[in-house]
Amino acid sequence: MPIVRVALDVPLATLFDYVLADGIAVPGQRVIVPFGRKQVVGVVMECAADSDLAAERIKPVVRVLDEIPPLPAELLTLLRFCSDYYHHPLGATVLSALPVRLRSSEPVTFKEALQYTLSVSGCTLDLSQLPRRKVVQHRILTALQAGALSAAQLRALSPSAPSVLKALLQAGWVEALSPGLSPASVRGEQIAFNNAHTLTAAQQQAVDAVMQAQGYGCFLLHGVTGSGKTEIYVHLMHQMLQRGGQVLLLVPEINLTPQLENYFCSRFPDAELASLHSGLADGARTQNWLRAQSGQARIVLGTRLAVFTPLPQLALVIVDEEHDASFKQQDGLRYSARDVAIFRANQRGVPIMLGSATPSLESYYNAQAGRYRLLQLTERAVAQAQLPTVRCINISNAALQHGISEQLLSALGQCLQRGEQSLVFINRRGYAPVLMCTACGWLSDCPNCAGKLVLHLQDRRLRCHHCGHQARVPHACPGCGNTDLQPVGIGTQRVESALQEYFPKARILRVDRDSTRNKGAWNAMRRQIHDEAVDILVGTQILAKGHDFPNLTLVGVLNPDSALYSSDFRASEKLYAQLAQVAGRAGRAGKPGEVLIQTAFPDHPLFSALREHDYDRWAKILLAERQSAGFPPFVYQAML
Ligand code: ADP
Ligand code: ZN
Ligand code: ZN
């Protein structure tokens, strides 16, 4: 009888043999099998004629789950590679790459989005003869004249679209297309495209370089903030979509995916887009995954987990902010989504673009060594948008008020007077990083780990930001009973309340993981910032990435120094990336931007490179250091 070797989500580096009594199964198919006293879902990795086990010890497959197509062989090869390279059991690797629903035996059905199109009689309608007051009807019919649309796309035209659509269907002017026909195939691959800008010469060169690649090629797009990297992605995507391909776009894990989704939908109004990130409900994630697997979704936009999505027509991979640490999974299968993406592009023989204003040293080094092709954009795309002026405020002898210098305070005051927005960046949430006893020197250490308990004044708690341990703020020192406990150092809450005291009329908004914990909170805040209902933003790296706030002209950076002398050899690389990002928020529209960095080491090469926006110089200094110290990318490191 036929044997199948099945990957199961267990911590054993082996496949499990089962006999297939009835039905057929191919590699990649999901099956339900008995395991111990339970029944579990697994994935068939191999089919064989016989097994090394004695026949009576082999249990039968309970059921073949064939309501969705099997995982493609290409994905199985990728997962085998990952299991091997990252030393994680094959079964656990395969199952962790699937959406949660597909790891369970509950039935899944693929709800294909129906497409609507004009019927023969609808096509001959003369819209000018229809009553003018039926605005939504006009809008829908006009939109459908350009091609088929899904219900979701129609809903985007008007909230009342569903009821109007129903009437149009009844009138016989509109009809539903059979599922599976993507609008692109209906229209012979003319992908509607909102071409917002004519590319600059540098942008065009980058696009051409990728389009001329024969098969696999890895391109590192190094462009200063605002240099128009996104515009390059859009043009590349357009060309690949026209050729009938699917595009995988990986972005960091930063609450930005919904915004990006809207953005790309607006640029490609009728190319189906599927997003994949941990914020999606299980059902939605499964459906999006299936739309990608069926080839129906043409653009797949996601965080690191999306790198394992089956994409039959994959033609291009883009990794935006490729240096971002969130592309590394920190537990279970500890993969780097950027590296897996490169493997995938190579496996498929298609180009991949890694984009960043501050590439990781690994990628930069690979580009120097000729393994990647380096494409550079050295200027902002919009002529009036100059890069901000960066200055250091030497705080080694300065008196600080709650961590803020006189100079920064006066700059903030002037910015307020001009009616422009400012951002105070500090990478520590909470009120103060530690609580100290003034009598005996007791510090609020975490009882669970090597971290310190951070003081959160709002809810009067001490929290460990490493392990999550929490405690009430003690009234007296646990060591000596002294009641004078003082916060040491500064966090976002402390800066917020200090600034509120200095500028009582200013509208101050704190943006960190605490204030954005509730769903939708960050979206509401972004709207507030855009509507200019905020004068001063105080926040952590959440604010640094990818946002465009046109009225923001001043950025103050508090306390970056600890990263200069950290035991993590990547700390100063990360600090440069973070400061370049946060500095990139200033002066993005016509207004000039200014960045003030409070540091006790203004002459450090990191800050001089930052002042001159000279990433290349900084990267070369770091690479020389790494080489002489024998650190990556000159050697490999593995953690046991
Ligand atoms: P990046 O991704 O490198 O930060 P973006 O692609 O977001 O840069 O572009 C920054 C700004 O410049 C955006 O407002 C964008 O609309 C504009 N822009 C990009 N390319 C062009 C161009 N070729 N001509 C005019 N404006 C452009
Ligand atoms: Zn004490
Ligand atoms: Zn802890």
Contact assessment for residue 21 and residue 58, using Cβ atoms and an 8 Å cutoff: no
What pLDDT band is residue 611 in, cutting at 50, 70 and 90? Answer: very high
**Residue 183 predicted with pLDDT over 50:** no
For the CA of 377, the closest atom of ligand 1 is 3
Residue 445 Cα to ligand 2 midpoint, Å, equals: 13
- In angstroms, the CA 360 to CA 116 distance is 45
The continuous run of DSSP H or E covering 570 comes out as none
**Bridge partners, residue 185, by sequence:** none
- In angstroms, the CA 542 to CA 551 distance is 18
- Cα 447 to chain centroid, rounded: 33
Residue 271 phi, psi dihedral angles, 5° rounding: -90, 130
Contacts of 399 (CB under 8 A, 6+ apart): 406
User: Which tokens in the block code for residue 505?
Assistant: 């009329």
- Cα 33 to chain centroid, rounded: 36
- pLDDT tens digits, one per residue of 408-430: 999 999 999 999 999 999 988 88
* Mean pLDDT of the chain, nearest integer: 89
Q: Which ligand is nearest to the CA of 467?
A: 3
Q: Which ligand is nearest to the CA of 581?
A: 1
Strand order across the 552-557 sheet? 389-394, 594-599, 552-557, 421-425, 536-539, 508-511
Contact assessment for residue 450 and residue 513, using Cβ atoms and an 8 Å cutoff: no
Most confident of 259-268, 352-361, 585-594: 352-361
- pLDDT tens digits, one per residue of 298-312: 999 999 999 999 999
Query: Could you tell me if the CB of 230 is within 6 A of ligand 1?
Result: yes
Residue 462 Cα to ligand 2 midpoint, Å, equals: 17
Contact assessment for residue 359 and residue 224, using Cβ atoms and an 8 Å cutoff: no
Q: Taking the C-alpha atoms of 381, 201, 616 and 354 in order, what is their torsion angle to the nearest 10 degrees?
A: 80
Q: Give the mean model confidence (pLDDT) for residues 88-94.
A: 97
Residue 149 Cα to ligand 1 midpoint, Å, equals: 29
Q: Which ligand is nearest to the CA of 449?
A: 3
For residue 50, give the DSSP letter: -
Query: Could you tell me if the CB of 581 is within 6 A of ligand 1?
Result: no
Contact assessment for residue 4 and residue 14, using Cβ atoms and an 8 Å cutoff: no
For residue 2, give the DSSP letter: -
Contact assessment for residue 27 and residue 90, using Cβ atoms and an 8 Å cutoff: no
Query: Could you tell me if the CB of 231 is within 6 A of ligand 1?
Result: yes
In the block, tokens 């930052």 appear at 610
Residue 497 Cα to ligand 2 midpoint, Å, equals: 26
**Residue 187 predicted with pLDDT over 80:** no
What pLDDT band is residue 381 in, cutting at 50, 70 and 90? Answer: confident
Alpha helices in 337-474 (DSSP H): 337-348, 361-368, 406-418
Contact assessment for residue 153 and residue 175, using Cβ atoms and an 8 Å cutoff: no
Enumerate long-range contacts of 136-140, CB under 8 Å, 24 or more apart: 136/160, 136/161, 136/164, 137/164, 137/167, 137/168, 140/164, 140/165, 140/168, 140/174
Q: Give the mean model confidence (pLDDT) for residues 340-349.
A: 98
- pLDDT tens digits, one per residue of 269-288: 888 999 999 888 898 999 99
The continuous run of DSSP H or E covering 273 comes out as strand 273-276
- pLDDT tens digits, one per residue of 114-131: 678 888 788 878 888 888
Residue 415 phi, psi dihedral angles, 5° rounding: -60, -40
**Residue 617 predicted with pLDDT over 80:** yes
For the CA of 199, the closest atom of ligand 1 is 23
- pLDDT tens digits, one per residue of 8-29: 999 998 999 999 987 788 899 9
What DSSP line would sit under 117-167, residue for residue? EE-HHHHT--GGGS-TT-HHHHHHHHHHHT--EEHHHHHTT-TTHHHHHHH
Q: What angle, 0 to 180 degrees and rounded to 10, lies between the N-to-C axes of helices 229-242 and 201-211?
A: 40
- pLDDT tens digits, one per residue of 490-540: 899 999 999 999 999 999 999 988 888 887 788 888 889 989 999 999 998
Number of Cβ within 10 Å of residue 521's Cβ equals 13
Nearest-CA residue for ligand 1 atom 10 is 226
What pLDDT band is residue 186 in, cutting at 50, 70 and 90? Answer: very low
For the CA of 231, the closest atom of ligand 1 is 6
Amino acid making up residue 513:
R
Query: Could you tell me if the CB of 79 is within 6 A of ligand 1?
Result: no
- In angstroms, the CA 546 to CA 551 distance is 15
Q: Which ligand is nearest to the CA of 355?
A: 1
Q: Which ligand is nearest to the CA of 441?
A: 2
Query: Could you tell me if the CB of 228 is within 6 A of ligand 1?
Result: yes
- In angstroms, the CA 350 to CA 482 distance is 66
Query: Could you tell me if the CB of 200 is within 6 A of ligand 1?
Result: yes
Q: Which residues surround ligand 2, an ion (CB under 5 A)?
A: 437, 439-440, 442, 477, 479-480, 482
202: left (phi over 0), alpha (psi -120 to 50) or beta: alpha
Residue 484 Cα to ligand 2 midpoint, Å, equals: 8
- In angstroms, the CA 30 to CA 65 distance is 5
Q: What percent of the chain has pLDDT over 90?
A: 59
Query: Could you tell me if the CB of 382 is within 6 A of ligand 1?
Result: yes
User: Which tokens in the block code for residue 506?
Assistant: 């200013």
Query: Could you tell me if the CB of 378 is within 6 A of ligand 1?
Result: no
pTM across the whole model: 0.83
The upper half-sphere exposure of residue 210, i.e. CA atoms within 13 Å in the direction of its Cβ, equals: 31
User: Which tokens in the block code for residue 132?
Assistant: 């003018």
Residue 613 Cα to ligand 1 midpoint, Å, equals: 18
Q: What percent of the chain has pLDDT over 70?
A: 97
Query: Could you tell me if the CB of 223 is within 6 A of ligand 1?
Result: yes
Q: Which ligand is nearest to the CA of 482?
A: 2
- Pocket test of ligand 1: the residue of 197, 322, 384, 581 to mutate, having most ligand atoms within 8 Å of its CB, is 197
Residue 438 Cα to ligand 3 midpoint, Å, equals: 23
Nearest-CA residue for ligand 1 atom 27 is 381
Q: Give the mean model confidence (pLDDT) for residues 58-65.
A: 93
Contact assessment for residue 92 and residue 333, using Cβ atoms and an 8 Å cutoff: yes
- pLDDT tens digits, one per residue of 393-404: 999 888 888 889
Number of Cβ within 10 Å of residue 515's Cβ equals 21
Query: Could you tell me if the CB of 225 is within 6 A of ligand 1?
Result: yes
Query: Could you tell me if the CB of 203 is within 6 A of ligand 1?
Result: yes
Q: What Å distances lie between residue 161 and 149, 165, 168, CA to CA?
A: 12, 6, 10
Residue 563 Cα to ligand 3 midpoint, Å, equals: 20
What pLDDT band is residue 184 in, cutting at 50, 70 and 90? Answer: very low
pLDDT of residue 640: 80
